[in-house]
Structure formats: structure tokens, C-alpha cells
Structure 1
Amino acid sequence: MAIMIKTPEEIAKMRVSGRALRQVHDAIAPHVVAGVSTMDLEEIAVKKIAELDAKAAFKGYHGYPSALCTSVNEEVVHGMPNAKRVLKEGDVLSIDCGVIIDGYYADAAVTYPIGKVSDHARKLLNVTLHSLEEAIKQCQVGGRLSDISATVQRICEAEGFGVVREFVGHGIGRSMHEDPQVPNFGEAGKGPRLKAGMVLAIEPMINAGGAGVHVLKDGWTAVTNDGSYSAHFEHTVAITKDGPQVLTR
């Protein structure tokens, strides 16, 4: 495992990418409503990314066709925008996006309720987001990588939710996926020591039911085995001597 340590100058460049990515998410958010297709949201994202003189990190990555991943309801991650996939009241939609500016990546995801959702769906979103925020607090110099993982698992499993094993967070920098992997499960106090200059994409992927998932025939879209809803939140986080800095806030 070769974990890349970023200089303060590199983290500053990643912060530029992170702020741009936040602007992309902010441009999309008002349009995440019933009656809109996931391709409509893709078009908004593509336009905003171009306005920011950024590059879509996902498009073309291992052949992926879009700037966004738009995963609806039981879709966990890597759902592809589709003009025929129209959002309806009670759905949940996770939007994952990445951008590149000046050779540096940022990656972030948000899950939205569409109109009025069930109490269980609302709880799933709230708990998943809470687990991310608590995991970010573990990004302290001298801590262990698995402290992040264990925090997500503890919070989400305590509420009866399933923690996805097949997909994990990751290091990020001049590549979208760098070492180390950042699982959302594990025993605290294990793994590499956290050092200033590490930058991690932390991304709880949590199911309302069981943890099991499988990938559809399209080769991308991962769905829950039991058809339960799934939530996904993600931030790009720099570890510094002054504590965690969320670059995509």
C-alpha cells in the first residue's frame, strides 16, 4: 500500500476542485424534484462543470458514460442517468459526482428525498449522513484508518441498517482512486496511522435492509439484494495537523 501524502500546496489545489464540485451539487439540488429525469440532472451537471472550466471525473472512467452517478431507491451506487428514469414522490436519489481541476480530483455524494418519503427512508438518510460526519471527526493525525470505518459501522448497524461491503471509500488526489481503501466497516484501532497530508474520500453506503448487493447486467448499477432503499453520502477530506478539513463542504 503506497499512501500518497499531499503537500499543503497540493491540498490547496484539491480545495479548488472541492469548491467547484460543491458548486455543481448546489446547481443540481433545486432540480431534484418529482417529475424530473435523472438525465435532466446530468445535463445540468455537464453545463455547470463546463462553466467552471473543470472536467467530469467519472465520464470515460473505465468506459463510464456520464458525469453523474444517479442511483434511485434500491440502487446503491453507479446508477446511470437515463431520460426514462423520472423521479417520483417517495423516491430517494443519490447523486455522486467528481471533478478534476489542474490535475487534482474531488469526489462527493448526496442522497435526496423526493418529496415526502417514508419515515424509514428519512431515518436511513439521516443516519447515513450522521455516520459520515462522525467518521470525519476520526480523521485525526495519529489515529488509525479503521477508526473511520468502525465509526460508520457502529452508528449504522445500531439502527438496524446494512453496511455495504463490496464498495468502499478511497484515497484521492491526482487519481480518483488511490490507496488506501476506506471501508465502512471494521474494528477500531487497526490499519495504517493517519498522517497529515492524507486525503480520503469517505463515503458510507448504507442499506435500509440487509447489507448484500449485486451488480446488474449493465455492468455498473449496484442494487440491494432485498430491494430495500440505499443511501450514499461522501466528502473529500484532508487530514491536517489542525484536524480534518472537508474540501467538498
Structure 2
Amino acid sequence: MSITKESELIGMQRVSQAVAKTLKLMREHAKVGMSTKELDEFGGQILKEFGAKSAPYLTYGFPGYTCISVNEEAAHGIPSPFKILKEGDLVNIDVSAELDGFWADNGGSFVLGKDLYNHQPLVDASKAILRKAIFATRGGIKISDIGGLIEKEAKKRGFKVIKNLAGHGVGLSLHEAPENILNYRVRMNGERFRKNTTVAIETFISTKSTIAVELQDGWTLVGNKGGYVTQHEHTILITDNKPIVLTAENEIWEAAS
């Protein structure tokens, strides 16, 4: 959305704080032996305390308050009482919500407990690449240039990107223009970021796959060639200089894992 008055900025700050705090607290609450359904219910309660409503449920009828993806799941994992978190799991939590007509989105991957399976380098790469991409984003920059930066940085670290998942505009709905802030360069795309607009920038960094494919449950995505995927995401306000990270309170860059 385009921010044209202070009340709109305040609205975006409030919903961004709600999703950011929910993500942070869910990450801290996650424990070995807990089901992803239990973790999701915890997150749903926090959203309710903020007065916010789950965006994937409102928009798509998603069967959960948040998306929780574990290990080989790349995105949109359904919370389940039968999916029990284990030591060393690669966990992704994606939290988006609506509050008083404004929408925000954020997410982050982390290793639960000890890094038994060497997932941490992938997590660290995703976080570092997101930081670099966000702070290269400003009004007038081509969207494809940010995609090119993400892919280049992933390759430098020995990883790939998922090409059919993307960041997007956000604000008056969960997904709005620009609809495809991709993780690679599309040379024919001349669209540029606009000052005073809000977007969700996200990285999808992979060990083997380049395409996400949907499982039979109609929601969960996995990589087309297997392996693992990490995702990190912030909602930002674009300016002429450094963007304002509206979801900074999720502390995904400060988190140890």
C-alpha cells in the first residue's frame, strides 16, 4: 500500500508489531516434544491479545493461525497435533495478520535446540541475504535487481533459491502489488519499488530445489528436488534511503538460531 497520512503509518506499525511479537514469542516458546498445533494455538492467542486476526485464515481459509513448516517442508505447513517437534528440527514459522484494516507479514526459520543436522549455515545464509536485500531496497530500485542480489548471494554461499515463491506488497490486504518480489532476476521486469509503499521482502534459500511443489493436503509445499528450504521475511516501508523495518520486533536477525 501507499502510505499517504500518519494514521496509515500508525496502522501499519500496530499490525506489524502484532505479527512481529507473535513470531518472536512463538520461536521462544517452541520446545522439543511440543506439537505444531500446540505452538500454533499459542501464537493464535497472542494475536487475539493484540486484537489481530490470522491473515491466512481470513484470506484463504487456512487450517491454522500460522504456517509452521518442519524439516523438508518449504512453506505453508499445516499445524497438527500429530507433528511433534524434535531436537535439531529445522522449523519455519510464518505469521501474518489483519488489525483494524491493515495487514502485515513476517516469518523466520530456526534450528530447534542443538544443530544435529547442520541446518544452521542455511538459516544464517537466509537471514544475512534478507538483510542485504532489504537494505538495498529503496524507491526507484528495480524489483528484479533485488531478486538478482538474492540469487547471487545464495550462489556465493553454495545454495539455491526457490523461484516460484516470492515477496509481495502488503498493507490493505495480505497480497497486493507488487505481487512478485522474486528471489531471482527477471530481466524483462522493469517494475521499480515506489517510495512510501509497504512490502514484504522474503528470502527462500534452498540446499537442492528451485521450485516448490504442493502436497496432496492442498497447502504444504516441499522442494521439487528435496533438500531443505529456509525463509525469512520482514514487512518494510520503502523510503528514498534505508527502508523502515516495520516488523523489526521479531528479532530474527538477533536470534541465535
Superposition TM-score tier, normalisation by shorter sequence: over 0.9
Q: Write the distance in 2 (CA, Å) between the matches of 1:158 and 1:189.
A: 24
CA distance, structure 2, for counterparts of residue 8 and residue 209 of structure 1: 44
| Amino acid of the structure 1 residue aligned with 2:243 | P
Q: 8 Å contact 1:32–1:112 — kept in the other structure?
A: no
CA contact (8 A) 2:165 2:212 kept: no
Task: Give the corresponding residue for 2:231.
Answer: 232
Deviation at 1:101, TM superposition (A): 1.1
Alignment of 1:208-247 (within 5 A): 208-247=207-246
Compared CA separation, residues 134 and 189, structure 1 to 2 (3 A): farther
Is the Cα contact below 8 Å between 2:40 and 2:79 reproduced in 1? Answer: yes
Partner secondary structure for residue 234 of structure 1: strand
- Paired with 2:225 and 2:29, the residues of 1 have a C-alpha distance of 29
CA distance in 1, matches of 2:240, 2:205: 30
Name the CA distance, whole Å, in 2 between partners of 1:217 and 1:130.
33
Partner residue of 1:7?
A: 4
Q: How does 1:51-200 map to 2 (within 5 A)?
A: 51-118=49-116, 120-180=118-178, 181-186=180-185, 191-200=190-199
User: Residue by residue, what CA displacement relative to the aligned partner does 1:189-228 show, whole Å, maximum 9, x if unpaired?
Assistant: 9522222112111111111223233110011100113331
- Normalised to the residue count of structure 1, the TM-score between the two structures is 0.93
Cα-to-partner distance string for 1:86-133 (whole Å, 9 max, x where unaligned): 011121000001111110001000111011124641100000111100
Q: Once the 2 structures are TM-superposed, how far is the Cα of residue 74 of structure 1 from its aligned partner?
A: 0.9
Compare 134-143 and 175-184 and name the one that shifted more: 134-143
Which residue identity does 2:148 align to in structure 1? A
Separation of aligned partners in 2, 1:146 and 1:199: 17
Aligned Cα root-mean-square deviation (Å): 1.7
Confirm or deny: 8 A CA contact 1:89 1:114 kept in the other structure.
yes
Measured at CA, do residues 123 and 214 of structure 1 come closer, stay the same or move farther in structure 2, by a change above 3 Å?
A: same
Q: Which runs of 5+ in 1 are unaligned?
A: none
Q: Matches of 2:164 and 2:127 in 1, distance apart?
A: 19
* Bigger mean CA offset, 91-100 vs 18-27: 18-27
| Stretch of structure 1 that moved more, 144-153 or 111-120 | 111-120
Distance of 2:87 and 2:136 partners within structure 1? 36
The residue that corresponds to 1:23 in the other structure is 21
Aligned residue pairs, count:
246
* Structure 2 residues without counterparts, runs of 5 or longer: 249-257
SS at match of 1:51: helix
